[in-house]
Homo-oligomer: A and B are copies of this chain.
Amino acid sequence: MANLKQVAERAGVSSATVSRYLNGSLSLPEATSASIDAAIAALNYRPNPFARSLSRGRTDLIRMVVPDIKAPFFSALVAAVENAAYAREQELAISVTLNRPGRETRYLDSVSDRHVDGLIFVTNHPQVAPLKSRIDAARRVVLLDEDVPGAVAPRLFCDNEGGGYLAGRYLAERGHRCVAVIGTGDEMHSGAARYGGFMRAFDELYGTDAQVLRKAGAYTIEDGRRLCAEVLDAGPGVTAIFAMSDELVMGTLDELAARGLRVPQDMSIIGFDDILPLDYFATPITAIRQPVEELGRMAVEILLDTDWDDPAARSRVEILPVRLVERSSVASVAPPSKATDQQEKVR
């Protein structure tokens, strides 16, 4: 493989000339540039990216850190980021943490290393102390999808609160008054916001005249089963479940099926994420759709275009809208005798 010097020799100029010509910091007469081009073509020259990174101090490599890549939401997010990174001519390194704290900090340090120009950081477990300070130290970190409280970094989320609200409103409007919410607890930004939005909707429609059972766990299929079981075991009143992720929806479906309960006749379900082909499920599942493509694109934009010396820019928070995709997993329940109460309240 040819290097700059060989190209320069063949073209009869110095390597500095070739370098500057290639980088546009020098304009050359036709004859010279032609001979350089010819030499490059003849030797099939391509610059060594490591030498280039070394001298420029930039790598054109960004890293995306995700808890898992098989999970549909994350794989969609990775795809979106890859796409955006490609468009910006950035190399993308993917790193999976499986939520092991050691891996997260290790990857955060790779920014301080100058190993990568920046990080798109996605986590989905409650934060422990060291993370915040590592993020602060790394600079050039964009927090995507989930928050790390206290860290100084731009953030990009979907409208979790609004999504929760849409879900709550949708259930409440269809007469569900005794419902369950399964997802993460308040230790997670997303869980807190989705629950908060959900409750806002219920409060609006029913005030205190409703029952919302909340069960908290992780965004996994297993916890979907477990939390759904807890809900069912808690008593017979619940008519609908808001499951905060695709995985939780799957787990919930498992548990319902195991007990012979039908969706939506025996139990209504509304989900969140909507990456899986919920259309194809036994009962197509109504869910809040995350704007994955936009999240990915915007994360890359923020990473590359933020002025990292500007404190305001570094604490920017961006919220992207979600929408409800209606399918057929939510039934309307006959309004209970107290329905008039509700109407009075609305007035």
Contacts and interface: CB of A to CB of B under 8 A. Distances in A.
A54 B46 contact: no
A70 interface: yes
Contacts of A61: 93
Interface of A: 1, 46, 48-51, 53-54, 59, 61, 68-70, 72, 75-76, 78-79, 82-83, 86, 91-96, 109, 112-115, 250, 253-254, 276-277, 280-283
Contacts of A59: 50
Contact of A79 (B68, B276, B281): B68
Copies of this chain: 2
B69 A1 contact: no
A101 to B, nearest CB: 15
Contacts of A114: 1, 48-50
A48 B116 CA distance: 11
Contact of A276 (B51, B76, B277): B277
A75 B70 contact: yes
A118 to B, nearest CB: 15
B96 A93 contact: no
B94 A94 contact: yes
A298 to B, nearest CB: 18
A115 B49 contact: yes
Which 5 pairs between the two chains have the least Cβ-Cβ distance?
A75-B75, A69-B79, A282-B282, A50-B53, A70-B79
Nearest to A59: B50
Nearest to A47: B113
Contacts of A51: 54
Nearest to A44: B112
Nearest to A76: B70
Contacts of A48: 54, 113-114
A94 B78 contact: yes
A125 B76 CA distance: 22
Given A51-B54, A92-B93, 11 more contacts: A46-B109, A50-B53, A50-B59, A50-B115, A68-B79, A69-B79, A70-B75, A72-B72, A93-B93, A93-B94, A94-B94
